[in-house]
Structure 1
Amino acid sequence: MSFLYVYERAAKIGVKDNCIVVESEKENLKRTLPIEGVENVIIFGEASLSSNCVKQFMERDINLTWLSSRGKFFGRLESTRNVNIYRQRRQFACGEDDEFCLALAKKIVVAKVKNQITILRRYQRNRTETSVINIVDTMARLLPIMERVNNKDELMGHEGIAARNYYQGLAALVEPGFAFSGRSRQPPRDPFNSLLSFAYTLLMYDMYTAAVNRGLNPYASFLHSIRKGHPALCSDLMEEWRAVLADSLALYVTSKGIIKLDHFDKPNHDGGVYLNSDASKAFIAEYEKKVRSRSHYLTYVDYSVSFRRAIEMQCQRLAKAVEEGDPDIYQPVVIR
């Protein structure tokens, strides 16, 4: 199954002869893609869809995610085929169970910090002039403390300390021109933060699709606080993957010169820094390569799967944990 990203200005999207057709007069573009095998269409910015296209997407269970050119979420178009109200009722009940939520939150946060440590160690090998050993040691000392906490507030407090150390380590390991002083969001105020935010946006809607396809409610979380309009479950599910798929990608594209400083527009009126259109397409292409690459990181199968397939399987694992009321069924991904 594949994802289709539409970034062309004023694109028109239709379906003809069993193919998705994307046209843009402004960019003198016309492309076709067989509709079979397309699972998700993500639109950035302005685009229009024919009524037949909408109908075909609904009939074929193809999700449509609509974002601004800067990655702001507008909404989704999806069929109700995967809605599982029985599973969602169990999900809501588990979300009110403090013991279930704490046990699951510990698993997710500990895995997240372990993965952050691994990424720092990996990139330290190529930065012999810089050391993040003290940062890694500080983060590692937090792990047993996190496993012993008695509530989510304590857990998130220690996670916050780990996060501050982690981003300090990232800042020391990025290419000199991309150095940053810490995480900034909404808007990102420097090029590296811009890449992180963009990668997190792409990852968020991978998670959203996987959660919905497994009959889970993307807004009902166990770790993050719920709030109107925010897919908090997707934020939960992203945590173990942020360093693995998003942070490592930002480090990779900057270290290899795929994304350069001149690929960013001047700061926006809100002070935000964003990739230009062509560089955004290049970044999306690298993201797709990343999520389609295969690994053996799932502990409950003895074969390799793509990262995107692993995300889907993790959602299914969470669904089983919810239905049986047993957080130990969920096994977060920890990279090596």
Structure 2
Amino acid sequence: MTELLNTLYVQTQGAGLYLDHDSVRIRTPEDEQRRTLPLRRLDSIVVYGHVTISSELLARCAEDGRGITWMSRGGRFKSRTEGPTRGNILLRHAQHRIYDIDEQRLPIARSFIAGKIQNSRQVLLRGARDATDPSRQQRIRDTITTCEEYLTNAEAASSVNELMGIEGNTARIYYEAFALLLRPDNDTGTMNGRTRRPPTDPVNALLSFLYGLTRSLIHGAAEQVGLDPHLGFLHGMRPGRPSLALDLMEEFRPILADRLALTLLNRRQVRAEHFEKHSGGAVNLTEEGRTIVLTEWQRWKQRDWKHKQLKRSVPAALLPMVQARILARHVRDELPAYLPWTPS
């Protein structure tokens, strides 16, 4: 159980959260001592696995607009609860109208993929500069060249299905090169492509955990701006899937999640001892491992990044909100296009 800045993360299995006047009361199985935190200090709550929340606390958080995110014990995003829908109904109506017009939907979808490819390329460029083995360095550079070709293809794509195919091909070669960015003395081993549901090696387990945190951050940003997080321009419509959150997530995965994963592994802050293997081959972070990652995630969110459109630096934690607002302005026809965020 960790309170970091304005988010309360609870991963102790069997813990319970209850409303106590204007505070949240926390009870854990091994510690009957009462612990309370003032609700005014918390913007959000994230719980992992078997953690119970009283109906009174759920109602209070909904009333205050305080989001609660539910994750699996291994860190996979499950759901998010919010209060009453925010924003202007006209914005959501405009969002739904654009979805039905291919000529307007496709350019936005192209921008999401362009942002993902450009930021993936940035991660690889940084890795190529740091690589000491000439063979690895050349393989990374070859992947960068291919990414540039896919970026050109994405800009010329004539359908969302074509874009999704380009995205899939980019992801495949990117993760092959990503494995080359890991230091050889990393005791967690390498990765053989991207595996999820479940992740089958420590690297993929760490990536999945960080992607869950990133997705929660972006989902909340879309909600707060007033966009419909379930109607995506790239991922489309599917019951129970927050498609717009997944759309916006594309440009943020490489910088917010992948770079942090590389830092944690290559600096040996996260090691083999911080993972556990389950029957069936699934691999997850241990409770100690999750605590380390959550602590570093909170620090990572405080890092400032330059934003070209705003012409100033923005903390990582606020970048999804900024991009959601830019998208909303485009949807309202206040901006001619949606431009993805890429670090300068």
Same-fold call, TM > 0.5?
Answer: yes
Give the shorter-chain TM-score range: over 0.9
Matched, 1:313 2:322: yes
Matched, 1:68 2:68: no
* 1:232 CA displacement: 0.8
Shift of the 225–202 alpha-carbon distance from structure 1 to 2, 3 Å rule, reads: same
SS of 1:76's partner is strand
Which one of 235, 242, 248 corresponds to residue 259 of structure 2? 248
Q: What is the rounded CA distance, in whole Å, between the counterparts of 1:235 and 1:81 in structure 2? A: 19
**Contact 1:320/1:329 (8 A) holds in 2:** no
Shift of the 150–29 alpha-carbon distance from structure 1 to 2, 3 Å rule, reads: farther
Letter in 1 for 2:156: R
Matched, 1:270 2:302: no
Give the corresponding residue for 1:41.
45
> 1:163-195 deviations in whole A, cap 9, x for unaligned?
222111101111334311201111111110111
Unaligned ranges ≥5, structure 1: none
Map 1:205-284 → 2, pairs under 5 A: 205-266=216-277, 268-284=278-294
Letter in 1 for 2:292: A
**Contact 1:94/1:325 (8 A) holds in 2:** no
Structure-2-length-normalised TM-score: 0.90
SS of 1:258's partner is coil
Q: What is the rounded CA distance, in whole Å, between the counterparts of 1:28 and 1:122 in structure 2? A: 49
Give the corresponding residue for 1:91.
95
Q: Following TM superposition, where does structure 1 have runs of at least 4 consecutive aligned residues deviating by more than 4 angstroms?
A: 27-31
Q: What is the rounded CA distance, in whole Å, between the counterparts of 1:77 and 1:151 in structure 2? A: 33
SS of 2:150's partner is helix
Q: How many residues align?
A: 333
Give the corresponding residue for 2:81.
77
Which one of 156, 164, 174 corresponds to residue 148 of structure 1? 156
Unaligned ranges ≥5, structure 2: none
Q: What is the rounded CA distance, in whole Å, between the counterparts of 1:28 and 1:265 in structure 2? A: 28
Q: What is the rounded CA distance, in whole Å, between the counterparts of 2:210 and 2:159 in structure 1? A: 30
* 1:20 CA displacement: 2.7
Moved more, 85-94 or 47-56: 47-56
Q: What is the rounded CA distance, in whole Å, between the counterparts of 2:79 and 2:211 in structure 1? A: 17
* 1:319 CA displacement: 1.2
Which one of 172, 175, 180 corresponds to residue 191 of structure 2? 180
Q: What is the rounded CA distance, in whole Å, between the counterparts of 1:210 and 1:90 in structure 2? A: 18
Percent identical across equivalent pairs?
30
SS of 1:20's partner is strand
* 1:282 CA displacement: 1.1
Which one of 17, 30, 36 corresponds to residue 26 of structure 1? 30
* Superposition RMSD in Å: 2.0
**Contact 2:76/2:208 (8 A) holds in 1:** no
